[in-house]
């Protein structure tokens, strides 16, 4: 079983709609969860971090965490063409941080004008 799984897509969403990106992880000891956005040829850029069960909202973005189901999601409201990118889910397993971040392969999101 892969440690962090994401649907690679592409996920195509009309402009103005809600984009829903999902991620599951295998290690129940995981404590910190991050969503990064990566444009083609660029480096990952932090969108959201989440540490506790429930929802966390930041502007048009909402991260959702369910540790019992080992599931993290990212919702993007009012999707814009500039949101077209690969979205990477990252998990930090250990409390000390020494394992680094474990990333999924990313979901390629396309916002159709």
Query: Rule CB under 8 A: which residues touch another protein?
Result: 4, 31-32, 34, 36, 42-46, 49, 51, 88, 90, 92-106
Residue among 30 and 79 whose Cβ is closer to another protein: 30
Residue among 96 and 113 whose Cβ is closer to another protein: 96
Q: Taking a C-beta distance cutoff of 8 angstroms, is the pair 65, 50 a contact?
A: yes
- Going from the C-alpha of 15 to that of each of 9, 59, 79, 87, 96, the distances in angstroms are 17, 17, 5, 17, 41
How many CB atoms within 10 Å of residue 100? 10
- Going from the C-alpha of 94 to that of each of 1, 23, 55, the distances in angstroms are 19, 18, 22
Residue among 54 and 113 whose Cβ is closer to another protein: 54
Residue among 18 and 46 whose Cβ is closer to another protein: 46
Minimum gap (Å) between residue 14 Cβ and another protein: 26
Minimum gap (Å) between residue 84 Cβ and another protein: 17
Minimum gap (Å) between residue 74 Cβ and another protein: 15
Q: In what order do the strands lie in the sheet with 4-5?
A: 4-5, 19-25, 71-76, 61-66, 54-58
Minimum gap (Å) between residue 77 Cβ and another protein: 23
């Amino acid at each position: 079983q892969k440690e962090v799984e994401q649907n690679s897509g592409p996920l195509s969403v009309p402009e103005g709609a809600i984009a829903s990106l999902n991620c599951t992880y295998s290690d129940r000891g995981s404590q910190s969860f991050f969503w990064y956005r990566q444009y083609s040829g660029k480096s990952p850029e932090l969108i959201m971090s989440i540490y506790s069960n429930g929802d966390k909202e930041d502007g048009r973005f909402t991260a959702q965490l369910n540790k019992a189901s080992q599931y993290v999601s990212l919702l993007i409201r009012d999707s814009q063409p500039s949101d077209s990118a690969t979205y990477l889910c990252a998990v930090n397993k250990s409390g000390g941080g020494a394992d680094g971040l474990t990333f999924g392969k990313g979901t390629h999101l396309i916002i159709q004008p």
